């Protein structure tokens, strides 16, 4: 299905990224296990799962942490054709808010929530009472509800999800790095804004279902978030040297983040060689990032530094580049 009314908010299970065709999704009802049924949902669940693994494994090193559930909601109002989406995803006839993606092995999945489950309430907030999103911001409602999950988790230590049929699923969050992961439908780039990592759906497709390459991509953007590069870039007012420095640091720190999560850091080099090299997008050629060869060399040197370090405690072992006074 397509969400084309603005920037997508969504997330991702370590599943292959082979997309089902839209026709097959429409003709085949969602299974009772409620697995992702099309390429969009598969990619959503892949990004969320990789992001969760990275954020959980590095939580003791992040300056900002928060209780997280690994749940991403979806809103029928954000889809081009809500009726077709309801049919394709087997959502039934009640409600508009549903579980859009789950991180594999995260609290939401462990508690028994499944993708494409309609949500009747979150805590004491009934979804039917939530105002529809304004036309100028289709994702306002689902973003508000996502924030509700986070604040409830922090305040109560658990989140109760009321489902249609009377069932309630209680999710107990875990502390992770305070970073959210989003899949942007129709986008081809990847970027980080404050504590948000955004990965374009088309970019995920270019990885060919390779979870290790996805981990390298997500780790690069997560590095921007945990190093708070956004604050530095805002103060620099577009200075190209500052942008280049933050990109080098993100390339370098990504290998530490990956190592802590059990991913082979060499995949960060492979991302440059196999994906960035062939991508006909700004990321491969923008002077702010450097060439794929120079980036691969920088990453390889950092992997050597990682292996030489006594541990992967990056706040103490990772050497940041010199700043101007």
Note whether residue 68 is domain-resident. Answer: yes
Give the pTM.
Answer: 0.87
Number of structural domains found in the chain? 2
Note whether residue 217 is domain-resident. Answer: yes
Query: Which CATH number is 104's domain given?
Result: 2.30.42.10
* Average pLDDT over all residues of the chain: 88
Are 273 and 216 in contact, with CB atoms under 8 Å apart?
A: no
Note whether residue 195 is domain-resident. Answer: no
Mean pLDDT of 208-237: 95
Note whether residue 7 is domain-resident. Answer: no
Length of the chain: 325
156/255 same-domain check: no
**Per-residue burial over 242-251, b = 16 or more CB atoms within 10 Å of its CB, e = otherwise:** bbbbbbbbbb
H/E element, 180: strand 180-184
Mean pLDDT of 52-64: 98
Query: Which of 39, 10, 51, 41 minimizes the C-alpha distance to 138?
Result: 10
246/159 same-domain check: no
Distance, CA of 133 to CA of 128 (rounded, Å)? 13
Tokens 């939580």 belong to: 59
28/128 same-domain check: yes
Q: What is the pLDDT of residue 11?
A: 36
Note whether residue 192 is domain-resident. Answer: no
The tens digit of pLDDT for each residue in 99-157 reads 999 999 999 999 999 999 999 999 999 999 998 888 888 889 999 999 999 999 999 99
160/210 same-domain check: no
Mean pLDDT of 319-323: 90
Q: What is the pLDDT of residue 170?
A: 99
* Angle made by CA atoms 6, 230, 58, in degrees to the nearest 5: 95
pLDDT interval class at 210 (50, 70, 90): very high
The tens digit of pLDDT for each residue in 1-35 reads 766 444 444 332 332 333 333 323 333 333 334 56
Residue 296 has pLDDT above 90, yes or no: yes
Note whether residue 235 is domain-resident. Answer: yes
The tens digit of pLDDT for each residue in 67-113 reads 999 999 999 999 999 999 999 999 999 999 999 999 999 999 999 99
Strand partners, 184: 200
Q: Which domain covers residue 94, as residue numbers?
A: 22-176
Q: What is the pLDDT of residue 7?
A: 40
């Amino acid at each position: 299905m397509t969400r084309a009314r603005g920037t997508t908010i969504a997330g991702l299970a370590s599943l292959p990224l082979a997309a089902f065709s839209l026709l097959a999704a429409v003709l085949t009802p969602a299974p009772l296990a409620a697995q992702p049924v099309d390429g969009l949902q598969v990619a959503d669940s892949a990004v969320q799962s990789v992001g969760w693994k990275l954020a959980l494994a590095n939580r003791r090193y992040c300056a900002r942490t928060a209780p997280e559930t690994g749940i991403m909601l979806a809103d029928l109002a954000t889809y081009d054709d809500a009726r077709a989406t309801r049919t394709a995803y087997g959502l039934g006839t009640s409600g508009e808010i549903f579980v859009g993606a789950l991180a594999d092995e995260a609290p939401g999945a462990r508690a028994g929530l499944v993708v494409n489950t309609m949500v009747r309430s979150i805590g004491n907030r009934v979804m039917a009472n939530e105002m529809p999103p304004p036309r100028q911001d289709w994702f306002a409602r689902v973003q508000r509800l996502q924030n509700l999950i986070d604040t409830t988790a922090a305040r109560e230590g658990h989140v109760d999800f009321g489902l249609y049929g009377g069932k309630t699923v209680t999710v107990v969050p875990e502390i992770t790095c305070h970073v959210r992961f989003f899949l942007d439908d129709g986008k081809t780039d990847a970027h980080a804004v404050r504590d948000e990592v955004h990965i374009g759906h088309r970019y995920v497709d270019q990885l060919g279902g390779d979870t290790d390459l996805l981990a390298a991509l997500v780790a690069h953007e997560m590095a921007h978030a945990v190093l708070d590069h956004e604050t530095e870039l805002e103060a620099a007012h577009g200075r190209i040297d500052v942008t280049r420095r933050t990109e080098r640091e993100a390339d370098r720190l990504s290998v530490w983040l990956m190592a802590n999560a059990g991913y082979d850091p060499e995949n960060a080099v492979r991302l440059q060689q196999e994906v960035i090299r062939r991508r006909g997008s700004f990321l491969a050629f923008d002077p702010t990032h450097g060439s794929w060869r120079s980036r691969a060399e920088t990453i390889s040197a950092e992997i050597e530094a990682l292996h030489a370090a006594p541990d992967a405690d990056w706040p103490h072992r990772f050497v940041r580049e010199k700043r101007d006074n």
